[in-house]
Structure 1
Amino acid sequence: MSEKTKTIMLCCAAGMSTSMLVTRMQKAASEKGIDAKIFACPAAEVDEKLEQENINSILLGPQVRYLLDNIKKKVADKPIKVDVIDMQAYGMMNGAKVLEQGLKLSN
């Protein structure tokens, strides 16, 4: 991966509900020629992923929005932006819109 690669982590309760969204985001990135690494992880693995990955932005599934402040504190000393996935885009599994949200955060 190049330095231009954007790494977006999606975080949800168990990592399952966001996996389909990740697939759609990857497809949207590919169609737009965007170099992005997108993956999902359960909330319980956030600390581990922060150690292993060079993450640019973290998007939380609406079901774990209560973790927003906690995760923002964990990354306060890192150049990582955190937000909650737009609920409508999440519900519609709109990969392109969620990709756009993650890229805006990471710029």
Structure 2
Amino acid sequence: MKKIVLLCSTGMSTSLMVNRMREAAKRDNYECEINAYGLAEAANVVPGSDCVLIGPQIRFNVPKLQAAYPGIPIEDVDMRVYGTMNGEEALKAARKLIGD
């Protein structure tokens, strides 16, 4: 089972995205665990994850996170995908990062 982590400022704004991604994963029969957290929790949740998606509002942290966790694919969520809460496209982005 793949572990997908979403990070935003406090973990609140990505909650809807997580729900939409879980719905998309269920439709695709893709077994994964998807959870949202605040950036302050990164040290506790990024290790052991298969990929990390970053909310656009904190995308400036991507290089720092990539340097801190070199073995874990980390990217920001496309602003249009995030703005429309398109869980299917966000899941596709995560799966691409993972290599699925």
Question: What's the TM-score bracket when you normalise by the shorter of the two chains?
Answer: over 0.9
Per-residue deviation, 1:7: 1.0
1:6 pairs with one of 2, 9, 14: 2
Q: Which runs of 4+ in 1 moved over 3 A?
A: none
Instruction: Give the gaps of 5 or more residues in structure 2.
Output: none
Are the equivalent residues in 1 in contact too, given 2:8–2:54 (CA < 8 A)?
yes
Partner of 1:37: 33
1:92 pairs with one of 57, 60, 84: 84
Partner of 2:24: 28
Per-residue deviation, 1:30: 0.3
Percent identity for Structure 1 against Structure 2: 34
Give 2:57's aligned amino acid: Q
Distance 2:46 2:88 in 1: 24
Per-residue deviation, 1:6: 1.5
Partner of 1:61: 55
Per-residue deviation, 1:74: 1.1
Distance 1:89 1:18 in 2: 12
Q: Over aligned residue pairs, what C-alpha RMSD do you find?
A: 0.8
Superposition TM-score, scaled by structure 1 size: 0.89
Instruction: Give the gaps of 5 or more residues in structure 1.
Output: none
Superposition TM-score, scaled by structure 2 size: 0.95
Q: Secondary structure at the match of 1:15?
A: coil
- Please list the CA deviations of residues 12-58 of structure 1 after superposition, one character each: whole Å capped at 9, or x if unmatched: 0010000010000000000110001100000000001134xx20100
